[in-house]
Homo-oligomer: A and B are copies of this chain.
Amino acid sequence: MSIRIGIYGYGNLGKGVEAAIRQNPDMELVGVFTRRSPESVSTRTEGVSVFHADELVNMTDKIDVLILCGGSATDLPVQTPELAKYFNVIDSFDTHARIPEHFENVDKTAKESGKIGIISVGWDPGMFSLNRLYASAVLPDGKDYTFWGKGVSQGHSDAIRRIEGVADAKQYTIPVEDALNAVRNGSAPELSTRQKHTRECFVVVEEGADKERIENEIKTMPNYFADYETTVHFISREELERDHSGIPHGGFVIRSGKTGINLEHNHIIEYSLKLDSNPEFTASVIVAYARAAYKLNKAGESGCKTVFDIAPGLLSAKDPTELRKDLL
């Protein structure tokens, strides 16, 4: 018996979930659900149907876990609590400041329906959060560092694209090597986000655009670039497509901490990701947690959960005996 998965929303993340399900033989994709016209969407998996989102409520007995692939700004705050009335759901809600509120909303409807809702799954929030938690529990006297990159920031790329005369752009967030090394050496420096990252921009301009003005507008843009060391490269549309069409990302979570009767010993715990495809990796994490959602609900649990609440063994397709034998 496979775990029957539904995908709601078919952007980059939804497509990543579709691909990830093919890598997990204990899962089966029931269908893709969209608010667009279903005929306008074609999936990459043969035999998988596309349904209008309105069909969902008629398919409650056909889907074990519904994976919500919408955005955190407006989609998920509404969809996750609403759909937890009918399904085990899982999302990648990543607006850190609003997680407590989102948790409460999902918890309420999921408890009422007897379903599981897992929120904020991915790598940050997600695997990075887990590593911050494990490391700080193990080394209570210490300091946490999160570095992001090298990777494409969608928000910063969009900000550049809004400048007059810009045809297209990609922005990479890059961790500062010296800052990384200072942390790894155990010196536990104080570092702001700005001291930890630089920004590199690849910009295609419209014909006749004033490059000097554009570069200046980027570098002085408040919040996004003004306080960072920022580099701007003007390139052709062909170069952008050839060299910058991927969505790589990654980063580092490091804890530097002390132990010993006089705190005389230093320890570094480092977790890092180097990802060719940000949405596909996020999707892969979500799919593993979808398995956990299924198992938890089978075991009679309900309500909202995060990665902090879920025993790691539940993510695996292997049974506990096998896991102890092979991986412990």
Q: Which of A59-67, A214-222, A281-289 contacts B (4 or more CB under 8 A)?
A: A281-289
Interface of A is mostly: helix
- Verify if A22 is at the interface (C-beta below 8 Å from B): yes
- On whether the beta carbons of A138 and B127 are closer than 8 Å, the reply is yes
- Verify if A260 is at the interface (C-beta below 8 Å from B): yes
- Verify if A276 is at the interface (C-beta below 8 Å from B): yes
Counting contact residues on chain A (CB < 8 A from B), the size range is 35 or more
- On whether the beta carbons of B284 and A308 are closer than 8 Å, the reply is no
- On whether the beta carbons of B320 and A259 are closer than 8 Å, the reply is no
Q: Which of A33-41, A96-104, A159-167 contacts B (4 or more CB under 8 A)?
A: A96-104
Closest to A132 in B: B327
Question: Which among B184, B265, B270, B312 is the interface contact of A307 at CB below 8 angstroms?
Answer: B312
- On whether the beta carbons of A16 and B259 are closer than 8 Å, the reply is yes
A151 to chain B, nearest CB (A): 12
- On whether the beta carbons of B96 and A274 are closer than 8 Å, the reply is no
A310 to chain B, nearest CB (A): 6
- Verify if A193 is at the interface (C-beta below 8 Å from B): no
Question: Which among B99, B271, B324 is the interface contact of A308 at CB below 8 angstroms?
Answer: B324
- Verify if A231 is at the interface (C-beta below 8 Å from B): no
Residues on B with beta carbons closer than 8 Å to the beta carbon of A99: 324-325, 328
Give Cα A226 to B137, complex, Å. 40
- On whether the beta carbons of A328 and B316 are closer than 8 Å, the reply is no
Residues on B with beta carbons closer than 8 Å to the beta carbon of A113: none
Closest to A185 in B: B274
Asked, given contacts A133-B315, A136-B327, whether A281 binds B309 with beta carbons under 8 Å apart, the answer is no
Give Cα A140 to B125, complex, Å. 21
Closest to A273 in B: B269
- Verify if A92 is at the interface (C-beta below 8 Å from B): no
- On whether the beta carbons of B285 and A275 are closer than 8 Å, the reply is no
- On whether the beta carbons of A316 and B133 are closer than 8 Å, the reply is yes
- On whether the beta carbons of B288 and A260 are closer than 8 Å, the reply is no
Give Cα A24 to B141, complex, Å. 9
Give Cα A277 to B266, complex, Å. 8
A244 to chain B, nearest CB (A): 16
Question: Which among B129, B267, B272, B276 is the interface contact of A265 at CB below 8 angstroms?
Answer: B276
Contacts A24-B140, A138-B315 given; 14 further ones with Cβ under 8 A? Answer: A15-B261, A22-B261, A23-B141, A132-B327, A133-B313, A134-B312, A259-B276, A260-B280, A267-B281, A269-B272, A270-B272, A306-B324, A307-B312, A308-B320
9 smallest A-B Cβ distances: which pairs? A308-B313, A265-B276, A137-B315, A259-B280, A265-B277, A268-B274, A137-B288, A129-B328, A19-B261
